[in-house]
Amino acid sequence: MKRYFGWTTLLVFLLIQCTPKPSPSPAGQVPLGVSSNPLLVKFNEVNRFSRLKTEHIPQATDITLDRANNILDGILSIPDEERTFDNTVKPIDEIYAVLGRVENPIYLMGAVHPDEAVRTAADSSILKFSKWETDFSLNEDLFRAVQAYGQTEDAQNLTGVNKRFYDDVLKDFLRQGFGLSKEKRDQVRELKNRISKLGLEFDNNIAQYTDTLVVTEEDMDGTPENYKKAMAAGDGTYKIDISYPSRRVFMKLSNSESARKALSEKFLNRAAEKNLKVIPEMVAERQKLANVLGYSSYAAYILDDRMPKTPDVVWKFEADLKSALKDKMSREHQELLDLKTKVTGEPATEINYWELHYLENKLAEEKYTLDEQKIREFFELNNVIDGLFTVAQTIYGLKFQEVPNPSVWHPDVTMYSVTDKDSGNLLGYFYFDLFPRENKYSHAAHFGISKGMSTPEGYQYPIAALVCNFPKPTEDQPSLLPHSDVETFFHEFGHLLHGMVTESALYSYSGTGVDRDFVEAPSQFFENWTWHKESLRLFAKHYQTDEVIPDSLLDRMLAAKNMSSGGDFAFQVFLGSLDMTLYDKWSPESSESVLDVSRRLHREILDWNETPNTARIASFGHLNGYAASYYGYAWSKVFAEDMFSVFAREGMMNPKVGKRFRETVLAPGGTREPMDLVRDFLGREPNNEAFKRSLGL
């Protein structure tokens, strides 16, 4: 079972004992921290982010590491003959909880805080936490303490989840290099610290990269007036930055092929100058780590503790998926070629990246009479939030309430409480940071702040943040989302719900503390409510007239849902294969560079041409956080669609099915093997039939 410290991948395995949650204060009454440092909070207090100053970060880091050291010293001070499960192993989870309650919000601040000094201090703090965690995972005295406990009668009599827990803890130590010589363990420590530093450098190079394309009035032909107004530079030109909301509209709608090509060059060369040097180092250090630990590749090391167990299983999965998609991808490609021929008046033989989304949009307009700008008018952000909340509250038995005047890191941020509808008990809090701004994390993601767990004072509330980059409202128009953004919103909220309804007693198994190749399943599962009439009618309303989205439009949207599913999912195969190739089949000594690998796999798997002289791989952020694990997006979708098939059969808004899913799949978190959770909910062995149907195969 995996426990992730922010962006690091320290593994620990812990027993869970489910404990009822106490009756809390009424929803909306947020207890504020009393410490002068907003990162240091008492039990179930929330952070006063608006008061955060640069100096608070190193101060909180040092105090927290001291607290963790004190707990560690307590474990080590116990005589071997007096060791028990509660005094030797369970305190490990307490250490992770102490660290996480400070490290997690610091990591978030490094991604979203508007003050550069705060972000820089956060990055330094994360490196310090990571070094401590690496040293902790390689602490020989702690390993011996766990081994000594294993010789006790208490350990010999362990059964059920307790035994699973101890076995996993021991396995985790061995995976960190115990059983090897001290010289090799020291080498592991050095490699892990080096990997952490390179990973942070890689991530920051992407996050901090900005660029803008200046275009003319002619280049803006095809884009809507509100977009032109938002992009206007004031001198007769327009500035298109490479953020998702700006780029996406231009690449789909601008009739200027040369401008679209120029923007794609800027986007695909994000961080290229720096990261084409960092990636080989990062991959090489991970390969060295795997070799020192006795594995043939980093992928073999990672997958030994994941659902597939071996790289061969993942390679077969990717190959089978590629084969299953081949015919549909080919048909889609031919449709685009035919359309390009029609648009240009010349026989088309190839599709370039800068044409891809433009032609797909044209095809949607022509074949399904879909106008994305018209569709957006039915997905005003506040209506989408209402719909998101209605779906989650109905099927999971929850209640969300906005917290007035929250202490936040930016004025755009809002905060909400979560309560259980039946008991009225407060379950946790979450934040929304939904609009782009300079130097903010540029994608969409769920960030944990506090994880649920049992404590002597009661149950600790989960706290999380959703960070997205949706179109910001203007004076003339509210935030109108393309349907793909609505789907993204539901996806990330699926992660958040996983953490909010947790019942795990220990921190490490709480919420999303599941296998990395299953963590996406509950979020992919939740996307489905953006594709069915029953749920869409709850919130898809025209922002001016309040007209519910008409059936005729919904029918065309649903018909077009899988218009490009073959190519879209083939792109997932490409990314998964790129990740696996670098971490399983590539060597730094190879004559083929990482850029060469990316370009070769692109040619082998995809049927459109990449923009020349670009380096997409340089901004493929998952090469760090999801190293040798990107296959998990496709892998988990098989389970997500299979589980959703129960709702499709028994009712999209069926609270009985929702309660069973909440209790069977979400609440346990990582306390059980993912496959067991899926089997229990389905009442049978999982299969890929629903997955294939979801792609129109």
CB 261 within 8 A of CB 611: yes
pLDDT in tens, 188-212: 999 999 999 999 999 999 988 999 9
Distance CA 507, CA 625 (A): 20
User: Please, is 313 exposed, middle or buried when counting C-beta atoms within 10 Å of its C-beta (0-12, 13-18, 19+)?
Assistant: middle
User: Please, is 445 exposed, middle or buried when counting C-beta atoms within 10 Å of its C-beta (0-12, 13-18, 19+)?
Assistant: middle
Q: What tokens appear for 240 in the block? A: 């298109």
For the chain, give the mean pLDDT. Answer: 92
pLDDT in tens, 426-466: 999 999 999 999 899 888 999 999 999 999 999 999 999 99
Please name the residue ranges forming H helices in 138-234.
140-150, 153-156, 160-175, 182-207, 225-231
**Selected residue with higher pLDDT from 4 and 113:** 113
Closest C-alpha to 498, from 509, 512, 487: 512
Average pLDDT value for residue range 247-263? 96
In a domain, 255, yes or no: yes
CA dihedral 142, 144, 150, 154 (to 10 degrees): -60
Ramachandran bin of 417, using left for φ above 0, alpha for ψ from -120 to 50, beta for the remaining angles: beta
What are the strands of the beta sheet with 426-433, ordered from one edge? Answer: 398-402, 414-420, 426-433, 463-467, 445-450
CB 165 within 8 A of CB 14: yes
Task: Check residue 2 and give its pLDDT.
Answer: 39
pLDDT in tens, 55-98: 999 999 999 999 999 999 999 999 999 999 999 999 999 999 99
Task: Check residue 555 and give its pLDDT.
Answer: 92
pLDDT in tens, 601-651: 999 999 999 999 999 999 999 999 889 999 999 999 999 999 999 999 999
In a domain, 372, yes or no: no
In a domain, 586, yes or no: no
In a domain, 257, yes or no: yes
Pairing type for strands 426-433 and 463-467 reads: parallel
Closest C-alpha to 508, from 10, 117, 118: 10
Average pLDDT value for residue range 508-533? 93
* Coil/strand/helix, residue 608: coil
Q: What global pTM score does this model have? A: 0.85
Task: Spell out a b/e string for 159-173, using b for 16 or more CB atoms within 10 Å of the CB, else e.
Answer: eeebebbbebbbebb
β-bridge mates for residue 463, sequence order: 429, 450
Distance CA 158, CA 142 (A): 20
Q: What tokens appear for 228 in the block? A: 């032109």
pLDDT at 102 over 50: yes
Closest C-alpha to 48, from 496, 403, 389: 403
Query: SS3 helix, strand, coil % of the chain, rounded to 5?
Result: 55, 10, 35
Instruction: Give the other-Cβ count within 10 Å of 459's Cβ.
Output: 24
DSSP 63-117: HHHHHHHHHHHHHHTS-GGG--IIIIIHHHHHHHHHHHHHHHHHHHHHHH-S-HH
What radius of gyration do the chain's Cα atoms show?
25
Task: Check residue 30 and give its pLDDT.
Answer: 54
CA dihedral 238, 241, 244, 247 (to 10 degrees): 50
Distance CA 117, CA 129 (A): 18
What is the chain's length? 697
β-bridge mates for residue 433, sequence order: 467
Q: How confident is the model at residue 24 (pLDDT cuts 50, 70, 90)?
A: very low
In a domain, 433, yes or no: no
8-state DSSP, 232: B
Distance CA 593, CA 277 (A): 10
Distance CA 96, CA 507 (A): 7
Task: Check residue 28 and give its pLDDT.
Answer: 44
Task: Check residue 372 and give its pLDDT.
Answer: 86
Query: Identity (one letter) of the amino acid at 83?
Result: R
CA dihedral 620, 623, 483, 649 (to 10 degrees): 150
Distance CA 38, CA 57 (A): 9
pLDDT at 573 over 80: yes
CB 94 within 8 A of CB 506: no
Distance CA 145, CA 181 (A): 18
pLDDT at 32 over 60: no
Q: CA of 283: how far to CAs of 278, 286, 579, in Å?
A: 9, 5, 10
Tokens 């803008």 sit on residue: 212
CB 509 within 8 A of CB 92: no
Q: What tokens appear for 639 in the block? A: 């389970």
pLDDT in tens, 375-384: 999 999 999 9
Q: How confident is the model at residue 34 (pLDDT cuts 50, 70, 90)?
A: low
Counting the structural domains of the chain, the total is 1
Domain interval for residue 219:
211-268
**Selected residue with higher pLDDT from 166 and 268:** 268
Task: Spell out a b/e string for 417-430, using b for 16 or more CB atoms within 10 Å of the CB, else e.
Answer: bbbbeeeebbbbbb
Task: Check residue 161 and give its pLDDT.
Answer: 72
Provide the percentage of residues in the chain whose pLDDT is more than 70.
95
Distance CA 145, CA 139 (A): 10
Tokens 């979560």 sit on residue: 418
